[in-house]
A and B are shown apart, each in its own frame.
Chain A
Amino acid sequence: MAAPTHDRQNPAFFALIAVLIFMSVGPVLLLLANSLKLDVDITSGAGGLLFMPTIRNYETALCDILWYQPEHLRFCQIRFGGAFINSIIIALVSTALTLIMGTMAAYALVRFRFMGRDSLSLSTLAVRMIPPAVLLVPVFGLWNNAFCLDRDGLVGGMIREIFGGRGDVCLAGTHSGIILIYVAMNLPFVIWILQSFIVQVPYSLEEAARVDGAGPFQTFFLVVLPLIKPGLAAAAIFTFRIAWNEYLLASALADRNTMTVPILIVNNASEFDGLGTIFATGMLLAIPPILFTLFASRQIITGMTAGAVKG
């Protein structure tokens, strides 16, 4: 019987909410609807919701990774599928690495006492203040020339034998090269954000775990890590989105085979034929961050440490 205690809301309030929902969800729905239309339907101006849905646009967009040749295509012009997979690999791996290293670094900075701890903690943020564009030229040079394995050397030769290709084995043009720079770019912020979460885990919990017989790693993984899940989720969303959308560094460091979706779209803007394909690629581009964010945000539960200690 909660109803009588509620005040009756002004109808205008509901209208306002409806408008807000429409504004935020509308464009996505429009994107989805149009991606399922033929070009003629999109441009006919009717704009109606009555149309025959087709996956043809998606076939066009993903033609390079489909196992069959779509009927309406004479040849596969845009290699969107490959770039899409590159993007997913790079975003996921760099997010995972950033979180692993970030959590451990943040934990050490919060819990261990060592010389220069405070200045180290601050300097992580200072790194963050450098715009990525400044990094571009030196990183480009290093990745192309400095960090290379001789193609006649043992490891370099092996890589060339297995993966093929010419020249010395360099970081430029590899997934690892891009992942590395994304990890370096995101790590300071992740360390910084996780520090504030780890500080909130009561130290007596860790002491209790030690008395209960947990070693340092068990304490970290069984007690601390579950409690900073919300922080991990926030950091993961942040890192994933940056890695997914980043253009500048990836455009300089990627080659034909490792380019990510943003690069592909810019490079091939003129080659997209038809609005339908653009909508379909837009939709595909939006799905991973949406899924990832939905998944990660479910971990963000407030009051995670409630009941741990007398507060």
Chain B
Amino acid sequence: MPRIRLEGLVKRYGAVEVLHGIDLDMAEHEFTVLVGPSGCGKSTTLRMIAGLESVSGGEIWMGDREVAALDPKDRDIAMVFQDYALYPHMNVARNMSFSLRLQKRPQAEIDKRVREVAEMLGLSAFLDRKPGELSGGQRQRVAMGRALCRDASTFLFDEPLSNLDAKLRGQMRAELAVMRQTVKKNMIYVTHDQIEAMTLADRIVVMHGGHIQQQGTPSELFRRPANKFVAGFLGAPPMNFLEVDLSEEGGVLRATGRGFALALPEALADRARGAAMRKATLGIRPSDLDFAPAATTDRALDLRVVVSEYVGAQSVLICDCGGARVTVEIKSETPVALGETLRFGVRPEGLHLFDPETERAL
């Protein structure tokens, strides 16, 4: 399997530059997820790897080949499109075998391959149907099947699950995770859904505004976000951000905001001292706040509950903290009444600080 490497990849539409030099090095058999909000350039990057968009600058390497100038068919890739793009005039079997038939492979080999893939995806009963006679989930599977049938070294997925309803999406996500174990290929997956990214990826690449913000394993990105954007993008509900003043009090660095003054843990305090900053943005994930009436004020926030969203085992509280909105995720059995002001303890390792100017993590 070739290693895929992007070097200074640039895309311009006329005078507008939408990708500003993407550098990315993917390991063999790695499941790489490009994630970001709409318009961040993730789909453009994928389509440039596929050869469907021209490259305005930079290089795309697959193994020891520079493929930026090659046709899609010469790049040894298979792609699953967001809208499936099944050939409506061909039945499922012919859809899946299209690329093999174009390669003029022997009929027996084509039949065998289609049967194997159909078996794997549970499509055996539908091989004679046209795409128009299939449900959304089945079409999605056929689209995957078409990519799998073609024995390409690299699989590209362009938001493949975004057209499915929520339940089916979860199901397909799980199937993809299983498929990922059995199919040893390079996979590049584009999505705007951070849950898909977190659950599927070996490596997540967070993109925003045509730049790579951060890349790494899901847990690295979740625990040590490089900047405020990554911190706010990964994780649901998103991270809370509070503007704080930093001040030294008796050997302890305190982050003081409206209505709270938290003591920062030593490691974080050292980094903040190193940056010599007076003001910062404090980030706390909703899951790092716990209902703790007995906690001391330097380890807790006093929050007034505005809205309580019951989502089963967990409840999401939207609270007011001196005019700022703070989201808290707690167990549903915690007794909470709207309008009450409660004390929530903060896990020390759950505190993040960001430079308010550059938005970089400290």
Binding site for A on B (CB under 8 A): 50-52, 71-73, 77-79, 81-89, 98-99, 102-103, 130-134, 136, 139, 146, 150, 163
User: Which of A211, A226, A306 interacts with B72 by CB under 8 Å?
Assistant: A211
List 21 A-B pairs, Cβ < 8 Å. Answer: A204-B81, A204-B85, A208-B146, A210-B71, A211-B51, A211-B52, A211-B72, A211-B73, A211-B78, A211-B79, A213-B99, A227-B88, A227-B89, A306-B88, A306-B132, A307-B86, A307-B131, A308-B84, A308-B85, A308-B87, A310-B82
Closest Cβ neighbor of A227 among chain B residues: B89
Closest Cβ neighbor of B136 among chain A residues: A310
- Does chain B have a CB within 8 A of A305? yes
A-B contact count (CB 8 A): 88
Bound-complex Cα distance A210 to B77 (A) = 11
Bound-complex Cα distance A226 to B130 (A) = 14
**Also in contact, A209 and B98, with CB within 8 A (given A204-B85, A227-B88, A307-B130):** yes
Complex contact B132–A204 (CB within 8 A): no
A219 to chain B, nearest CB (A): 10
A202 to chain B, nearest CB (A): 7
Complex contact A207–B81 (CB within 8 A): yes
- Does chain B have a CB within 8 A of A31? no
**Also in contact, A304 and B83, with CB within 8 A (given A209-B98, A211-B52, A214-B102):** no
Query: Which residues of the other chain, A, contact B88 by a CB distance below 8 angstroms?
Result: 227, 304-308
- Does chain B have a CB within 8 A of A148? no
Complex contact B73–A215 (CB within 8 A): yes
- Does chain B have a CB within 8 A of A303? yes
Closest Cβ neighbor of B89 among chain A residues: A226
Query: Which residues of the other chain, B, contact A77 by a CB distance below 8 angstroms?
Result: none
- Does chain B have a CB within 8 A of A71? no
Bound-complex Cα distance A209 to B79 (A) = 10
Complex contact B87–A223 (CB within 8 A): yes
Closest Cβ neighbor of B102 among chain A residues: A213
Complex contact B132–A213 (CB within 8 A): no
- Does chain B have a CB within 8 A of A218? yes
A192-232: CB near B (< 8 Å → 1, else 0) gives: 00000000001011011111111100100011001100000
Bound-complex Cα distance A307 to B86 (A) = 7
A75-90: CB near B (< 8 Å → 1, else 0) gives: 0000000000000000
Closest Cβ neighbor of A215 among chain B residues: B73
Bound-complex Cα distance A76 to B52 (A) = 66
Beyond A304-B88, A309-B85, 12 additional contacts (C-beta under 8 Å) are A204-B81, A207-B79, A208-B79, A210-B72, A213-B102, A214-B73, A214-B98, A215-B73, A226-B89, A227-B89, A306-B88, A307-B88
B53 to chain A, nearest CB (A): 10
Query: Which residues of the other chain, A, contact B51 by a CB distance below 8 angstroms?
Result: 210-211
Complex contact A307–B73 (CB within 8 A): no
Complex contact B139–A202 (CB within 8 A): no
Query: Which residues of the other chain, B, contact A209 by a CB distance below 8 angstroms?
Result: 87, 98
Query: Which residues of the other chain, A, contact B134 by a CB distance below 8 angstroms?
Result: 307
Bound-complex Cα distance A218 to B101 (A) = 12
Query: Which residues of the other chain, A, contact B103 by a CB distance below 8 angstroms?
Result: 213
Closest Cβ neighbor of A216 among chain B residues: B71
A102 to chain B, nearest CB (A): 20
Bound-complex Cα distance A305 to B87 (A) = 8
Bound-complex Cα distance A303 to B132 (A) = 9
User: Which of A205, A207, A215, A307 interacts with B132 by CB under 8 Å?
Assistant: A307
A227-266 residues with Cβ-Cβ distance < 8 A to B are: 227
Query: Which residues of the other chain, B, contact A208 by a CB distance below 8 angstroms?
Result: 79, 81, 85-87, 146
Complex contact A309–B52 (CB within 8 A): no
B191 to chain A, nearest CB (A): 16
User: Which of A214, A304, A308 interacts with B86 by CB under 8 Å?
Assistant: A308
A259 to chain B, nearest CB (A): 42
A161-219 residues with Cβ-Cβ distance < 8 A to B are: 202, 204-205, 207-215, 218
User: Which of A210, A223, A305, A308 interacts with B73 by CB under 8 Å?
Assistant: A210
Closest Cβ neighbor of B156 among chain A residues: A211
Bound-complex Cα distance A207 to B77 (A) = 13
Closest Cβ neighbor of A226 among chain B residues: B89
B245 to chain A, nearest CB (A): 50
Bound-complex Cα distance A226 to B98 (A) = 14
A311 to chain B, nearest CB (A): 8
B143 to chain A, nearest CB (A): 9
Query: Which residues of the other chain, A, contact B102 by a CB distance below 8 angstroms?
Result: 212-214, 218
User: Which of A213, A226, A227, A310 interacts with B84 by CB under 8 Å?
Assistant: A310
Bound-complex Cα distance A110 to B150 (A) = 30
B123 to chain A, nearest CB (A): 14
Complex contact B133–A212 (CB within 8 A): no
Query: Which residues of the other chain, A, contact B130 by a CB distance below 8 angstroms?
Result: 307
Query: Which residues of the other chain, A, contact B79 by a CB distance below 8 angstroms?
Result: 207-208, 211
Query: Which residues of the other chain, B, contact A205 by a CB distance below 8 angstroms?
Result: 85, 87
Bound-complex Cα distance A306 to B146 (A) = 18
Bound-complex Cα distance A209 to B95 (A) = 10
**Also in contact, A207 and B136, with CB within 8 A (given A213-B103, A308-B85):** no
Complex contact A212–B136 (CB within 8 A): no
Query: Which residues of the other chain, B, contact A307 by a CB distance below 8 angstroms?
Result: 86, 88, 130-134, 139
A299 to chain B, nearest CB (A): 12
**Also in contact, A207 and B150, with CB within 8 A (given A202-B83, A307-B139, A308-B87):** no
Query: Which residues of the other chain, A, contact B84 by a CB distance below 8 angstroms?
Result: 308-310
